[in-house]
Amino acid sequence: MEPQAFGDEHTRRKLETVEKYLVAYTTALKKQGFELWYIDACAGSGASIPRSALASPNSQNGLGLLETDDSILDADQIIVGSAIRALGINTPFDRYLFNDVKKSNVDALKAQVQKNFSHLGNRVSITQFDANKMLCDMCDRINWRSSRAVVFIDPFGLQIRYSTLQRLAQTKAIDLWYLVPVFAMYRQIRGDGAVLEDGGKSVDEALGTDAWRHVVAIEEKGQIDLFGQQQVISKRAVDVAWFEKVAKDRLKLAFDDRVVDQVLPLGRNGLHEFSLMFAWANPSDKAKLAAKLARAVLT
C-alpha cells in the first residue's frame, strides 16, 4: 500500500463516519431495484499516514507519497482511505467511480483495486479529472431514474464550485457527503477585514455568491491622532463558525433545504478546519430515510 502523507486522527473520524453511512445505505436499498453507485470525487491513493506518524524517528519526513514496509511504518498507523473502505463493506455497490486529479494517486488506487478487490474490478472505474468536471459529467451520463448514488467530496482547498453542488442536487437521486473547507474560507480575510484577491474569488465560487464579502469586516473608532481626529480601524468580524453557517445555508439553498442540521467539525489539534455536511437530493418522503441514517452516524 502506498499511503499519502497527510491527515491525522480527524481524518480517521471523518472516514469512519462516511463508512458507517455506506454500510447502512447499501443495506437499506439493496432490494429496492436501483443500480447503486458510490462516487468519490477526490479519492486519493487509497490510504494516508498521519502527519504525527511522520514526525516519528522511524518515518521519512517530507514525502508526498510513501513506499512503505515494516521497517518504515507500523500498519496500525496507516489510515485506510474512503475508496478502499467503500470497496470493503459487506453489501457492495453495483458501481464505483473513483476520481483524483493526480496521476500518482490514480495509479496507486488502481493497483490497490487489482491486488485486493479483483472480484469487484468490473464494477470499478477510476478517472483522472478535475473533480468539478468529473461530477458534472457523471450527472449527465447516469440514468437517474434507475440509479441512486452516494457522492463523497473531500476536496483539496477551495476547488469545488457551488455550481457543481447545484448540479448534484438537480439529479434528485444523490446523497452527498461534503467536507467543507471552512478554515480555508476564513483564511481569505486578513485581520484588518480585507479580502485576499485570488482567495476571495475562490470563496465566491465555492459559495456561489459574493454577498459574504459585505459583512466580514467592521469599522471601529480608534485613538485620537495628533491633529485631534479620531482614527477609524477596520477589522475582521467573522470566524470559522460563521463560514460553517454560511456554507450550510448555501448547501440548503442548492438542495431545497434537504440538509441535516448536524455537522461534524474536524481538524488537527482542536482546530476547526473542516465541516462534514450531509445533503440528500431526492424530494420524496421515502428518501427522508437518508437524513435519518446520516443523523445516526453523525451522533
Q: Is residue 254 part of a domain?
A: yes
**Grid cell 462516511 in the structure block, residue:** 18
Q: Is residue 51 part of a domain?
A: yes
Q: Is residue 226 part of a domain?
A: no
55-97 residue pLDDT tens: 444 444 443 444 444 433 444 456 889 999 999 999 999 999 9
Residue 167 scores a pLDDT above 80: yes
214-261 residue pLDDT tens: 999 987 665 666 565 656 578 999 999 999 999 999 999 999 999 999
| Amino acid at the residue 13 | R
Q: Is residue 266 part of a domain?
A: yes
176-213 residue pLDDT tens: 999 999 999 999 999 999 999 999 999 999 999 999 99
Predicted pLDDT of residue 226: 59
Predicted pLDDT of residue 100: 96
Predicted pLDDT of residue 70: 42
111-140 residue pLDDT tens: 999 999 999 999 999 999 999 999 999 999
Nearest-angstrom CA–CA distance, 28 and 20: 12
Enclosing domain of residue 165: 4-206+238-298
In the chain, the number of structural domains is 1
Q: Is residue 220 part of a domain?
A: no
Predicted pLDDT of residue 46: 87
Q: Is residue 129 part of a domain?
A: yes
3-state class of 193 per DSSP? Answer: coil
Nearest-angstrom CA–CA distance, 157 and 169: 22
Predicted pLDDT of residue 179: 98
CATH number of the structural domain spanning residue 92? 3.40.50.150
Mean pLDDT of the chain: 88
pTM: 0.87
Nearest-angstrom CA–CA distance, 6 and 120: 27
Q: Is residue 31 part of a domain?
A: yes
Q: Is residue 212 part of a domain?
A: no
Q: What is the mean pLDDT of residues 273-297?
A: 97
